[in-house]
Amino acid sequence: MNFYIIIPAHNEEDAIAQTLESLVNQSLPANKIVVVNDNSTDSTQKIVEEFAGQHTNITLLNTTSSNTHLPGSKIINAFYKGYEVLDEDYDVICKFDADLIFPKNYLEKIAAHFNHNERLGMAAGFCYIKTNGQWILENLTRKDHIRGALKAYRKQCFLDIGKLKPSMGWDTVDELLAKFHHWELLTDESLHVRHLKPTGINYHKASKFLQGEAMYKMRYGFLITLISAVKLAFKKKSFTLFKDYMTGYFKGKQNKLEQLVTEEQGEFIRKLRWDGIFNKFQK
């Protein structure tokens, strides 16, 4: 099974070597690894060049964009820079963050899952962060959600969902569209991936309304957005976030932002969300 991996990287000198080291030592090596050095001002480029000089499956691509770290658009635009230099001879394409340490058997086990189930469209392990000297499950982790940090897509699923959306919420809408196209998702609890920098640590303050805008663009509707905003704010223990999410939703609606899904897909997504809400209340 041919794995192609794209790693967007911006000022990752403290982590990128550990990520690449864990990937070059996989029991099932990736066929191609493209690191997209996105406007880094540190030694990221030099570190990747050293790895590329030693490993023929690693390629460095330098690109320039804004230094503002807005979730969604910056990372996915960098991803596409890497995607453009790849051929189509892959079975699984991965978008990985540049601050992850993968267990040695990670790709081998992901490949086994894809080989076992021909309708499996996306698969991943779980992210762990270091807290008080111990590696614990990152609090954004859910068994029914594949984190944006470590996405792996079967080729046909990747094409069916229209690839990745350069927008906040891309790592939710991809799963919803995969289900719309009758693909299955899998998270493997046995695959512990070390996440060296917690999600969102470098996000720019201008991103605070983007989560709510994403809910509008995914056609959640007001009630589902309200419930989702309450849930997320409670999980992150911040009422301010709830206000930001709802403000973002109304800003998106007022400005009639371009939506990420069709009306038919939006109807499917709302039904899926309501089913999930009702199932949780029944437990």
Indicate where the chain has its CATH 3.90.550.10 domain(s).
Answer: 3-195
- pLDDT in the model for residue 201: 47
Q: What is the pLDDT of residues 187-239, one digit of tens each?
A: 999 999 999 987 654 444 556 788 899 999 999 999 999 999 998 888 778 88
User: Does the pLDDT of residue 248 top 80, yes or no?
Assistant: yes
Per-residue pLDDT reduced to its tens digit, 6-45 = 999 999 999 999 999 999 999 999 999 999 999 999 999 9
Summarize pLDDT for 68-97 with one digit per residue, the tens: 555 678 899 999 999 999 999 999 999 999
pLDDT at 22: 98
Residue 282 pLDDT more than 80?
no
Q: Is the pLDDT of residue 66 over 70?
A: no
Mean pLDDT along residues 260-279:
93
The secondary structure of the chain as a DSSP string is --EEEEEEESS-TTTHHHHHHHHHT-SS--SEEEEEEES--SSHHHHHHHHHHH-TTEEEEEE---S---TTHHHHHHHHHHHTTS-S--SEEEEE-SSEE--TTHHHHHHHHHHH-TTEEEEEEEEEEEETTEEEE-TT-BTTB--TTEEEEEHHHHHHTTS--SSTTHHHHHHHHHHHTT-EEEEEEEEEEEESS-TTTT--GGGTTHHHHHHHHTT--HHHHHHHHHHHHHHTT-HHHHHHHHHHHHHHHHTTPPPSS-HHHHHHHHHHHHHHHHHHHH-
pTM (two decimals) = 0.90
CATH of domain 3-195: 3.90.550.10
